[in-house]
Amino acid sequence: MPESPSSPSSTPTTTERLFFVYGTLRKGDDNDITRLEPAPQLVGTARIQGVMYHLGAYPGVILGGNSEIVGEVYAVSSALEAKLDAIESEYPAQSDEYFKRAITVQVSGQALACSVYEINPAYTVGKPVIASGDWVKDR
């Protein structure tokens, strides 16, 4: 039986890292993380504080502020993390569009240390804000 998005799955191993995904990496979107290998493990859904911008075919989030951003938390292996970095052009340094940041999220009442890709504010100038903070719902 698949995990419910609202209930956390087993604790990630020390070789795994948690990622909060909010845009095209979310399940069902263009870069659906669950279609990548090695397969990630869904930990649960979460919300973070930030501002989401519509950048055309994908969103970008600037952390902080009073708005909530909807996303999913996954445990990923280092091999999958390298693939995520390539998708976000974060590593090797191909672009300055996204930066990997450390954040804390709440999943089912548990505080978890995660990584998230934050957009460089220079790429949001003149771009519309997604007020709901939910890329899948409002794109």
- Residue-wise pLDDT for 103-115, tens only, equals 999 999 999 999 9
CA Rg, the chain, in Å?
14
- Could you tell me if 112 and 47 are in contact, meaning their C-beta atoms sit under 8 angstroms apart? no
- Could you tell me if 93 and 99 are in contact, meaning their C-beta atoms sit under 8 angstroms apart? no
Q: What is the pLDDT of residue 93?
A: 55
pTM exceeds cut of 0.75: yes
Q: Quick one: average pLDDT of 117-131?
A: 96
| Residue ranges covered by each domain of the chain | 16-127
Q: How far apart are CA 62 and CA 58, in angstroms?
A: 14
Tell me which fold the domain 16-127 belongs to: Hypothetical upf0131 protein ytfp (3.10.490)
Q: What is the pLDDT of residue 58?
A: 94
Alpha helices per DSSP H over the chain = 78-87, 135-138
Q: What is the pLDDT of residue 86?
A: 87
CA-based nearest residue to 35, from 48, 43, 45, 26: 26
Q: What is the pLDDT of residue 7?
A: 41
Q: What is the pLDDT of residue 54?
A: 96
Q: 86 in helix, strand or coil?
A: helix
60 or 92, which is more confident? 60
